[in-house]
Chains A and B, each alone.
Chain A
Amino acid sequence: MATDQDHEGARGRGGSADRTPRRAPDWADGLKQLYDSVVEEDLPDSFKALLDRLDELGQGAAPGGSAAKAARPATRPDDQR
């Protein structure tokens, strides 16, 4: 079966899609800005709680197990603001 790699890799070699633009497109800074805006957000409390409680979980505990579920606070959209 032809894979995505076969298709894109073959087309990309010597094709226009494989060339790095001579200059960054105008929106490139915006893409980084979108990413960085999330990186710079304050971490929601739900993450702090989860990180604090990781030590209670045994290493190797199945992520879907009861201990993991107990340690994982629900994330709400309100946490983002």
Chain B
Amino acid sequence: MSADHAPKDGPAPGDRLSALDKASFKRELTEVVPHLRAFARGLCGRPDLADDLVQETLLKAWAAQDRFEPGTSMRAWTFVILRNAYLTDMRRNRFRGEYDEGVAERILTAPAGQEEPIHLSDLHRALLTLPPERREALLLVGAGGFSYEEAAEICGCAVGTIKSRVGRARAALTEMLASGNIPRRSASDEAAHRAILDELEEVAAGNLASTRG
């Protein structure tokens, strides 16, 4: 997806799509909703806020549907919209890397050949302590199954940058889970929150530069 085709906020020019095109668009949009929910949940941690983000994404995608190129990836296109909405909400102080203890505590996973099972709750919490740009890169590649190239297009950065972010995210998670030293990052942790927002500002500045350049 090139920057020219990336969804943008704001009204699109009138209804230009045929009824068939609109039905097809809606079907594809409906099919990606579960993936949008999973990506949003990984980004912001709280299921209710994540679903609000997805609903906002669906409305924006619907409003911008004539900018979608049939035959291209609806999932990638809508992930760009969701990511932009998330960054906007982050700047508005809406998300604080909040973690829903209840959801992840219910599930345990024990990888084959491993003596100590990894608690998904620990993994989820560790994931939310990562800087947002590394977290989203790992979610896209490691969970969403996007290629590095696709993830780079979604994030508006170079492929090498995505590879680096994924590598650093993996290294950080491996270290945290191996040592059991997973920082608590709660809504009351203002220092951590400020650190996230500072990092976010840097990410946003970088993205703007790459989009314009």
Contact A60 B11 (CB under 8 A): yes
The answer to whether B62 touches A27 (Cβ under 8 A) is: no
Please give the residue numbers on chain B whose beta carbons come within 8 Å of chain A beta carbons, in ascending order: 9-17, 22, 26, 29-30, 33-35, 37-39, 41-42, 47-48, 51-52, 54-56, 58-60, 62-66, 103-104, 107, 109, 111, 114, 118, 120, 123-124, 127, 133, 138-139, 142-144, 157-158, 160-161, 163-165, 167-168, 170-171, 173-174, 177, 202-203, 205-206, 209-210
Q: How far is the CA of A30 from the CA of B170 in the complex (A)?
A: 13
CB atoms of A59 and B17 under 8 A apart: yes
Report yes or no: B174 in contact with A25, Cβ–Cβ below 8 A: yes
Question: A80-B48, A80-B51 known; A3 and B205 CB under 8 Å?
Answer: yes
Name A63's contact: one of B33, B41, B59, B144 (CB within 8 Å). Answer: B59
- Starting from the known contacts A9-B158, A30-B123, 7 additional A-B residue pairs (CB-CB under 8 Å) come to A8-B168, A9-B164, A31-B123, A41-B34, A54-B62, A75-B52, A80-B103
CB distance from B164 to the nearest CB of A (A): 3
Complex formed: what's the CA distance from A62 to B11 in Å? 5
Given A34-B123, A60-B11, do A3 and B210 touch, yes or no (CB 8 Å)?
yes
Contact indicator A8/B26 (Cβ below 8 Å)? no
Contact of A51 among B30, B51, B160 (CB under 8 A): B30
9 A-B contacts (beta carbon < 8 Å): A3-B202, A8-B168, A9-B164, A13-B160, A26-B118, A33-B109, A35-B143, A40-B34, A51-B29
Q: Which residues of A contact B (CB under 8 A)?
A: 1, 3-5, 8-9, 11-13, 15-21, 25-41, 43-44, 46-47, 50-51, 54-55, 57-63, 68, 71-73, 75-77, 79-80
CA–CA, A9 to B149, complex, Å? 14
Determine how close the nearest CB of chain A comes to the CB of B187; give it in whole angstroms. 15
In the complex, chain B residues whose CB is within 8 Å of the CB of A79 = 48, 51
Question: From residue B65, how far is it (CB to closest CB) to chain A in Å?
Answer: 6
Contact residues in B for A28 (Cβ distance below 8 Å): 142
The closest CB in chain B to the CB of A39 belongs to B34
Report the nearest A residue to B49, measured CB to CB: A75
Known: A30-B118, A44-B51, A62-B10. A5 touches B65 (CB 8 A): no
Residues of A contacting B171 with CB < 8 Å?
A: 16-17
B173 x A27 contact (CB < 8 A): yes
Query: Which residues of A lie under 8 Å from residue B144 when comparing CB positions?
Result: 35
